[in-house]
Amino acid sequence: MSLVMAGVVGALFGAGLLVSGMTQPAKVIGFLDVAGGWDPSLAFVMGGAVVVYGLAWRLVRARRREPWFDAAFHLPTRRDLDARLLGGAAIFGVGWGLGGLCPGPGLVAAGGGATTGLAFVAAMLVGLLAQRRFARG
């Protein structure tokens, strides 16, 4: 049951990405290219998601001691800023602005069989693995 739920939630997330326009690289790049012919529509994706998640997340935290299928909630606790966080975010942004895809939309596009999505996801996995090797030194 827990795995079925995880799968359904993943599909919902993917449907949201498809509806929102995040799986269209041209649209994403049009949003990021503020200095070009700016398309502001994708700002509403983050806006809608943050409002819904922000409210629902607080409601869950206030009403429950643990999630349905686990003994405890898993939340990041760090609040400090460091070079890894900012450097990683900077590198990610360059990739996002170059290809117009971030991890979720990349996986959805790969599922749709788009050559772009498949190539992007394959490269992303190599990048993630390389980072782990780099981190271990």
Partner 1 sequence: MPTSWLLALGGGALIGAASALLFLTHGRIAGISGVLGGLLPPAAPDRAWRLAFLVGLVAAGVAGAVVAPSAIGASVRPLLAVVAAGLLVGFGTGLGSGCTSGHGVCGLSRGSPRSLAAVMTFMATGAATAFVAGVVS
Distance CA 10, CA 82 (A): 31
Nearest CA among 39, 19, 16 for reference residue 29? 39
Instruction: State yes or no: residue 132 binds partner 1 (CB under 8 A).
Output: yes
Site for partner 1 in 27-66 (CB under 8 A): 27, 29, 32-36, 39-54, 56-57, 60, 64, 66
How far, rounded to the nearest angstrom, does the alpha carbon of residue 25 sit from its chain's CA centroid?
14
* Residue 25: CB minimum distance to partner 1, A: 5
Nearest CA among 79, 75, 22, 9 for reference residue 48? 22
Instruction: State yes or no: residue 78 binds partner 1 (CB under 8 A).
Output: yes
* Residue 106: CB minimum distance to partner 1, A: 7
* Residue 137: CB minimum distance to partner 1, A: 14
